[in-house]
Structure 1
Amino acid sequence: MLRKEVAELLQTIQASYQNKFNVKDPARTLDIWEKVLLKHDSNKVFFNLERHIETNPFPPTLADLIKEKPMDRMNAIPNAEETRRYLDDFDNRPELTDEQEQQIKIEQQKIRKILGIR
């Protein structure tokens, strides 16, 4: 983000959260926010700000503005092609050696003991 965009962002927060977002040292705040936001996309940051304003009565932190938002549930569900690819990869995975299977059984026994399951 450019310094001008960071200044606009801070002004938007100030206007949206009157009496809740008080900046004592505007120049220092602008410097700090600019340093952090320099490598972030302004469109994404402003989108996150709009979303935050709509859903939160308190001003956002820098982390609120730059973190990735959770994926929409519909986009998280794989389509048919992605499911086929996953199942093909699952079917083509390498077989475990006897030693690996034995180690898995040992670890399962340890877990059962910890959980009190026989």
Structure 2
Amino acid sequence: MDKKQTAVILEIIATMYQNKFKVDNKQLLLDLWFDTLKEYDFEAISENLKAYYKQNKFPPSVADLLHVTEKRDRALPTIEQTNQLLLGYEQAKQDKADPQQVAAALKEMRKTLGIERG
């Protein structure tokens, strides 16, 4: 996110929370918010802000906007996503190494590292 996009986020907050979001030093606020948000995607933060102001009557802090992203990332997967995960697990089971190959590889690693099995 760039500084202009950060300013847009602050403008939206100021508009949505007209009497509750008062700032004495706008440049300092912009600098601080930008420093925190610069590594985040503008669209994601905008969506978080929309979700936030639909449920909260007080202005958000920067952390509030980041927290919504984390919540969304923990959402339950769709049926299709679940099926894809299960197929991946099944494929992983089939791709497991033979126990004898694993034992031989571990023996070789112990030998290379000078570890004696006792």
Give the TM-score band, short-chain normalised: 0.5 to 0.7
Partner Cα distance (2:52, 2:7) in 1: 18
Aligned-pair distance for 1:90? 6.6
- Give the unaligned 5+ runs of structure 1: 96-118
Aligned-pair distance for 1:35? 0.8
Task: Give 1:25's aligned residue.
Answer: 25
Q: Taking structure 1 as the reference length, what is the TM-score of the superposition?
A: 0.65
- Listed one character per residue, the Cα deviations across residues 43-86 of structure 1 (whole Å, up to 9, x for unaligned) are 1111111111111111111112123233433438611x422443
Task: Give 1:58's aligned residue.
Answer: 58
Residue 72 (1) aligns with residue 75 (2): yes
* Percent sequence identity over aligned pairs: 30
How do 1:32-51 residues align onto structure 2 when only pairs under 5 Å count?
A: 32-51=32-51
Partner Cα distance (1:43, 1:85) in 2: 30
Aligned-pair distance for 1:13? 0.2
How do 1:106-117 residues align onto structure 2 when only pairs under 5 Å count?
A: none
Partner Cα distance (1:26, 1:53) in 2: 21
Could you tell me which amino acid in structure 2 is paired with residue 24 of structure 1?
Answer: D
Provide the aligned length of Structure 1 versus Structure 2. Answer: 95
Partner Cα distance (1:75, 1:64) in 2: 26
Could you tell me which amino acid in structure 1 is paired with residue 78 of structure 2?
Answer: N
Q: Taking structure 2 as the reference length, what is the TM-score of the superposition?
A: 0.65
Task: Give 2:111's aligned residue.
Answer: none
Task: Give 1:111's aligned residue.
Answer: none
Could you tell me which amino acid in structure 1 is paired with residue 60 of structure 2?
Answer: P
- Give the unaligned 5+ runs of structure 2: 100-118
Partner Cα distance (2:42, 2:87) in 1: 37
